[in-house]
Amino acid sequence: MAEEYIPGGLASMPRLFRLASLTRTPLNGSGYRMAASLYHDLAAPCVSWVVRQPDTRLKEGVLVSPRYVPQAICDDGRLRIGRLVLMERPIRTENLFRTVPLSWVANRGLLIRASRLFEQLDLRYQELVNGVLWNAEIFHGFCTGPSSLIGHHAERNGNLRHTVEVAEAVMNLLPQHPAADPQISLAAALLHDVGKALEYEPMRTGWQFADAGRINGHKQLIGDWIAVAAHRMRLALPREHYASLRHAIGAASDVSFESGYREPITPEARLLSIADRSSGTGDLIARQAPKEGNWGRPHPHLGGKAPYTVHRTPIGPP
């Protein structure tokens, strides 16, 4: 086995990584050699370590922290560490969008936009968002899944793209809605469709409703996850702020009072509704419109009508 000392130390390495891959090799009855690929956008090391019994909680996609040995030694291209520690409790200041591997999201520009939005939250709302998205299954589904089956953003990574568009629109519209609380508005935009992470599941071709989606739906799922995260992390949000956040995410238009749903009545809910509808409609029109202009294809979510667009030409001197 080739060994190489790595100078410079490990002080600049991130403390948190996404576990991208994991393998184990038996060592003649004396334990196992573990090998893993880790990901953070600042570093993506390959590591190895030896254990008597593997930690069965370590699975691809979870968040981990390496425990380094005193000397940074490289064994056949892998950094030798003491062990990997599963990070079970959310860390409020960590930006999880910086731990998304390329296999999840190829569009890195989309992740940069998501990261910038997260960084505009104050610490309380960062803690709440991380409390929901710390779960590896939820975060993976949120980043990779669609926002609908046949409607807007109905493609891989569609839900993440829709979320970023909605959150950016909310921030751009805030000056026109001075009564809306910026932090509640942004947190609601980032969380409003996270429930779709488990509402849909992949098939061989495309997506379908998962059991959780058929039974509960994404609004109930995200409402439950927010409540659990807030309780678990003892989130110190004012009661009226928490109620406004839950209302913005759970409100629905054109429903009866007896249905149990409420129409948007707070400025944050109205703002989210405007941005959400704009993103969805814009994506549908862009998908159904012809490349060269004129009449496109009808779609049930556009009222069964076909969009009409003009042929776009560069505007120059007459």
CA distance 203 to 189: 28
pLDDT, residue 259, reads 60
* pLDDT given for residue 258 in this prediction: 60
Query: pTM for the full model?
Result: 0.90
For the chain, report the end-to-end CA distance as a whole number of angstroms: 72
CB 184 within 8 A of CB 249: no
With H, G, I as helix, E, B as strand and everything else as coil, classify residue 143.
helix
Whole-number pLDDT of residue 176: 96
User: Which domains are seen in the chain, by residue range?
Assistant: 3-86 (2.40.50.140), 96-288 (1.10.3210)
Is-contact 245 257, C-beta < 8 A?
no
Closest to 22 measured CA to CA, from 53, 2, 46, 44: 46
% of the chain with per-residue pLDDT over 90: 73
As a whole number of angstroms, the distance between CA 307 and CA 292 comes to 13
Query: What does the pLDDT read at residue 5?
Result: 38
pLDDT digit string (tens) for 210-248? 998 899 999 999 999 999 998 887 877 888 999 999 999
pLDDT at site 6? 43
pLDDT recorded at residue 314: 63
* The predicted structure's pLDDT at residue 292: 85
Strand partners for 294: 309
All residue ranges of the chain with pLDDT < 50 are 1-8
